[in-house]
């Protein structure tokens, strides 16, 4: 870890981490989209890929606004999330795989939501108002992507994957315990 002695150092460290995370996602999202059997899921992932490209550009603007050159710091957190998500990609295309893709993508979104929320707040506290605005724009996109994935799961992908199993109460009513 870099020598972090103040909030600006912590902010820069986190921005470098997020920058690397986004670059990792630029490679992972096309693989997830290709593996998806549901057309709406594939489209959502492809749309988020385009957003991710813009988010990388936005981070480069943030670096510029705070007087730094864009550079990455290895983001082990996102690497682990991507590795776990890629384990499912060996499966045949199916609604179950689609549900697993959604789970993997939402893990990444939640990681990003936490990171962007933190750095946007830090940027504001450091007086980097323009940078904070850019970071909040990305934060909003990440939240929307998460909501889209939840909507797809609830609209039918989970049920198609077998997620509509009877509850314990219904199982008892059907003569099972």
CB 158 within 8 A of CB 99: yes
- 82 in Cβ contact with 28 (< 8 Å): yes
Model confidence over 98-123: pLDDT tens digits? 999 999 999 999 999 999 999 999 99
pLDDT tens, 5-29?
999 999 999 999 999 999 999 999 9
Angle at 110 between CA 108 and CA 112, to 5 degrees: 70
Could you tell me the pTM of the whole model?
0.87
- Rounded to the nearest angstrom, the gap between the alpha carbon of residue 39 and the centroid of all alpha carbons in its chain is 19
Summarize pLDDT for 123-167 with one digit per residue, the tens.
999 999 999 999 999 999 999 999 999 999 999 888 888 855 444
CATH of domain 7-161: 1.20.1260.10
pLDDT of 75 higher than 50: yes
* Cα–Cα separations (whole angstroms), residue 52 to 7, 28, 177: 26, 11, 47
Mean pLDDT of 39-62: 96
pLDDT at 73 over 70: yes
What does the pLDDT read at residue 45? 96
**H or E element: which one contains 27?**
helix 7-35
Q: What mean pLDDT do residues 43-48 have?
A: 96
In this prediction, residue 112 carries a pLDDT of 97
Domain regions of the chain by residue span: 7-161
Closest CA to 122 of 18, 51, 25: 18
Number of H helices, E strands in the chain: 7, 0
- Residue 176 has a pLDDT of 40
């Amino acid at each position: 870890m870099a020598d972090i002695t103040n909030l600006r150092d912590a902010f820069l460290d986190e921005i470098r981490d997020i920058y690397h995370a986004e670059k990792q996602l630029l490679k992972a999202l096309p693989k997830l989209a290709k593996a998806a059997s549901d057309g709406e899921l594939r489209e959502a992932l492809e749309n988020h890929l385009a957003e991710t490209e813009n988010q990388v550009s936005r981070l480069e603007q943030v670096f510029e606004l705070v007087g730094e050159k864009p550079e990455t710091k290895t983001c082990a957190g996102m690497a682990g999330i991507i590795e776990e998500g890629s384990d499912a990609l060996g499966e045949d295309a199916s609604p179950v795989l689609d549900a697993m893709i959604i789970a993997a993508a939402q893990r990444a979104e939640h990681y990003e939501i936490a990171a962007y929320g933190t750095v946007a707040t830090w940027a504001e506290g450091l007086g980097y108002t323009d940078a904070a605005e850019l970071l909040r724009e990305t934060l909003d996109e990440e939240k929307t992507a998460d909501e889209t994935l939840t909507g797809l799961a609830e609209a039918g992908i989970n049920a198609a994957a077998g997620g509509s199993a009877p509850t314990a109460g219904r199982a008892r009513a059907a003569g099972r315990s």
